[in-house]
A and B are shown apart, each in its own frame.
Chain A
Amino acid sequence: MKKTYKIEVDCANCANKMEDAAKKTAGVADATVNFMTQKMTVEFEEGADVASVMKQVLKSCKRVEDDCEIYL
């Protein structure tokens, strides 16, 4: 399953870091961060609980870039 979220991030390199962090989160099959449109597309692994996975994604993103936001 794929879902798109609105995000807020100020620099392009930070967007790349967020993408990496999101990809490494358990339950995420693939993730793309689009800096230009400020959107994050997350593809979840089968049977993953979207809400809890996204909470974890937000946490890992905050770890690499404090100044970011994902609107869940």
Chain B
Amino acid sequence: MNRKHKKMLVRIIIAAVLTVALNFIPTDGYVRLAAYLVPYFVIGYDILKKAVKGIWRRQVFDENFLMAVATVGAIAIAFTRSGDYNEAIGVMLFYQIGELFQSYAVGKSRRNISELMDIRPDYANVERDGGLVRVDPDEVEIGTVIVVAPGEKIAIDGIVCEGRSSLNTSALTGESLPRDVDVGDAVISGCVNLTGVLRIKTTKEFGESTVSRILDLVENASSRKSRSENFISRFAKFYTPAVCFGALALAILPPLVRMLFMSLAPEWGEWVYRALTFLVISCPCALVISIPLSFFAGIGGASNAGILIKGSNYLETLAKADTVVFDKTGTLTSGSFEVTELCPVDMERERFLEYAALAESASSHPISKSLTKAFGGTVDRSAVADIQETAGEGVTATVRGEAVAVGNAKLMKRMGIDCREADATGTTVHMAVSGRYAGYAVIADTVKPTSRSAVSGLKRIGISKTVMLTGDGERVARTVGKELGVDEIHSRLLPADKVERVESLLAERNGRGSLVFVGDGINDAPVLSRADIGIAMGAMGSDAAIEAADVVLMDDDPLKLVKAIRIARKCIRIVYQNTVFAIGIKLVCLALGALGLAGMWLAIFADVGVMIIAVLNAVRALFVKRL
């Protein structure tokens, strides 16, 4: 609670105590009026002041005006008829309690959410004149070496130039397993250094570093307003004046009708009272506050789980997801190639791998790398000579005096060596040693361990169609697709074909639900922006992907996709609940008020009570851990 809140609390207590006390002191007439006006002014002077100012500035229909008119009217009725001032003061009192609660709750959830996102580093350690100096990260230039001690946050993106350690990336990815880093590894800001001292050469300015970009993105997310938010602000604009004119009509028309056509007593007091009840109910606060608060909480909760949603509008579209289109490489598969099958002819496996790795040692092709990795041992480069690489075929070299050729069937054919075509998915690499066929290795992209459960998870939450797009050959695509259980597979696609595919899928579903495209952000920026929702996965550090996508998953676990959709649905559900609940209760109370069945006490519940319930419900959107 801040000073403003405390002051209001004191006013509420004083006014409440005074009013209760006055009920035990018998007074009447002007004395009674004067006595009750004391607590009334204590609790409501600022509202009255604002209402007068509003009229002065011709801004009549705001809640201050409504409250002022309603309570002054109630006092007038009390003075002339009942002598019961409690209602007028009670309405003002509860209105203020509601405002206080709203202000406190909103402030608190705002702080909560900023705490969740508490990844902003306050300083960076820079070596100057032999000592460490703490400087503002904004002042650190590119290429400076910063020192990060265990327990500190990495302030700026860079490359480790000295030391090894493990990093806690949970603030960024929601992943609790520490990541080991060594000299030469790129590290991103926002991670917490756990074990050893790291010296990091910065590669970006602070403003361009991952942590700044993420904070920027999350903070600006709720500025992109959703359809529900726009609906509510439009609704509020019409609703308040409509209710005010309704109240005016209620005060004037029925008594006139009674008087002129039914020859009954007009009962002005009764109808004015009903009109005032109308005014109290009319405040749109509950709606206007709870909808943006729900979105804000949803976005905050999601970012805490490593899911960055760039705007409330995307949360809305994501909740309606019906078709999910995956890019294969880097999304469902890890994008790193591994030797999945080894079939040497008259040769031991180790020797086969050693020869292949040696011959390929100069190449930086992913296939060469996977061979080196499979070999495992250190490659003794002095054992290789005469390396010749032919693009699209393979490599020939001399290994320990023997002529070795490693490559595809085309290369074997050119060298006049018979080779078997492997019956496996992936790329087949043949090897010949001294002109004799030595066997083949199959190298394939490996499926991520959670891909399968992600696809079935999507099915379970009601996604009607899953599609996989890939540039790979049909056989590979079919095997992977079958293993994962996706509904549709499109293979041999160039990046431009992917856009076309997504467009035809968009046309197929005739505006029902929304289409989500999930990619790793490499080469798929046009598709990301063409889909209803583009999701970039494992996009840490890839600026282009963060730019093009609407939702960014910070790690590369496809299961996060299911979670993202669930979070979006929960948030939208809360938004609907609040909209229906708040508007519904208000309409019911308005009807009851017009019929004279609801007094001001019910009216104040319709206003303040509904608001409190709606705000509490909105805060629920923050809890996404168990989704």
Contacts and interface: CB of A to CB of B under 8 A. Distances in A.
Interface of A: 10-14, 16-17, 32, 34-39, 41, 63-67
B106 A36 contact: yes
A41 B223 contact: yes
A13 B103 contact: no
B102 interface: yes
Contacts of B538: none
A36 B236 contact: no
B222 interface: yes
10 contacts: A11-B102, A12-B285, A13-B289, A16-B288, A32-B223, A34-B220, A36-B106, A36-B110, A36-B296, A66-B57
A53 B561 CA distance: 43
Interface in B172-187: none
A37 B113 CA distance: 10
Interface string B79-121: 0000000000000000000010011001000100000000000
Contacts of A38: 110
Contacts, number: 60
B222 A34 contact: yes
Is the contact region of chain B dominated by helix, strand, or loop, or is it mixed? helix
Nearest to B286: A12
A63 B110 contact: no
Nearest to B53: A66
B307 to A, nearest CB: 18
B44 interface: no
Interface residues of B, number: 26
B69 to A, nearest CB: 17
A36 B222 contact: yes
A30 to B, nearest CB: 11
Contacts of A35: 106, 289, 292
A13 B288 contact: yes
Nearest to A32: B223
Interface string B36-73: 00000000000000100110010100110000000000
B158 interface: no
B62 A13 contact: yes
B59 A39 contact: no
B219 interface: yes
A41 B220 CA distance: 9
Contacts of B220: 34, 41
B558 interface: no
6 shortest interchain CB distances as A-B pairs: A36-B296, A12-B289, A12-B288, A13-B288, A16-B233, A34-B223
B491 to A, nearest CB: 43
A14 B222 CA distance: 17
Nearest to B102: A11
B225 interface: yes
